[in-house]
Structure 1
């Protein structure tokens, strides 16, 4: 009995640790640098979609299109969240439509990774850029997850894992000022809006531009 109890506790601890994987980096110059920031831009996300087991109907071209769609959807979702809470922050977030038009006009919309953060900030006319990567891996079937949710309860129908990395770079010198990493489980009942809300609740507690 003791062995079973110990095993249950060990599994529970492991699950809690797996669900709360979070890492934060703050530059020693963070507070000084952001004190003069007025406007920041959210770049299109670098989004990847993968599968633990490739589905039979997997199409690389379709998957690539979904990644591009996800990149813009996540950019828009992050902007909407920050805009909704703008009174809590010390900076203005540039409209992503303007951000993307400026990137396209300069011929760099598809070359974000080829430019330094300070070069991107100069193109966009902002004091800092927020650069994010989002890696989504589907790990289970939605049908099985729905059944599990109905039998056991909502929140138990895990279908995927996701990794979010958010970096804030200073426009003046391109230095990394702040970095946030979070690994999460995605439920079968989640949607892009709920997913962004979930992610930003985790980020919001540590977002450096939040007014004190």
Structure 2
């Protein structure tokens, strides 16, 4: 019995480790102290399906990814703006960020551009970015039916992972990385995703003056 309990604890511990991972560069504190303005770029979003739905459209799926990319960017900016007094840096307005990226012809080429190149175009000291990957495992209708059948709301429709990164604007070096797995549901919006993630991040977010 004791052996079984030990195994269960070990499995649970490994599961927690897999769900959340944090990397900090040895230069993090030094670099953060020099930074004043930070830009949040659109996130890279990938939407996959465990079982591809009928009438699937690759074009429509790509458009959904694009919209979610900018929505996560906007939600994160709003979250940080609400708590701006807590942070040691100012965050560039995301509308300005996207206009500058579009003007430079980089809005659709973020994966082909280094972070120091982006920082130079945006006129900032660091760049916050990341990616969100989600795999839909159940239809929305099925999730609603499950919620009604078993009570409550927000049936699970998929699983996702969200990575948040901070890169230095001078040399593009990765200073900080946060990875977290998330469950997606019919009640989950991008605001919810960002809110949940930032609650987990808050104690480790480098720009938090209370950290």
**What TM-score results when the alignment is normalised by the length of structure 2?**
0.89
For structure 2, list consecutive stretches of 5 or more residues without a partner in the other structure: none
Q: SS state of the match for residue 186, structure 1? A: strand
Residue of structure 2 in register with 1:164 after alignment? 162
Q: SS state of the match for residue 211, structure 1? A: coil
Question: Are 1:181 and 2:179 counterparts?
Answer: yes
Residue of structure 1 in register with 2:36 after alignment? 38
Question: Are 1:17 and 2:24 counterparts?
Answer: no
* 29-38 vs 139-148, which moves further: 139-148
**Alignment counterpart, residue 145 of structure 2, candidates 126, 144, 147:** 147
Q: Indicate how the Cα distance of structure 1 residues 31 and 19 shifts in structure 2: closer, same or farther if over 3 A, else same.
A: closer
RMSD over aligned Cα atoms:
2.4
Q: SS state of the match for residue 129, structure 1? A: strand
Equivalent-residue separation in structure 2 for 1:204 and 1:36 (angstroms): 21
* Aligned 1:61-140 pairs, distance under 5 A: 61-140=59-138
| Per-residue CA distance 1:7-55 (angstroms, 9 max, x = gap) | 9x959x6599369700000000000100011000000111111111000
Equivalent-residue separation in structure 1 for 2:151 and 2:16 (angstroms): 20
**What TM-score results when the alignment is normalised by the length of structure 1?**
0.89
Residue of structure 2 in register with 1:56 after alignment? 54
Q: SS state of the match for residue 35, structure 1? A: helix
- Aligned 8 A contact 1:19 1:183 in 2: no
* Aligned 1:182-197 pairs, distance under 5 A: 182-197=180-195
Equivalent-residue separation in structure 2 for 1:19 and 1:152 (angstroms): 30
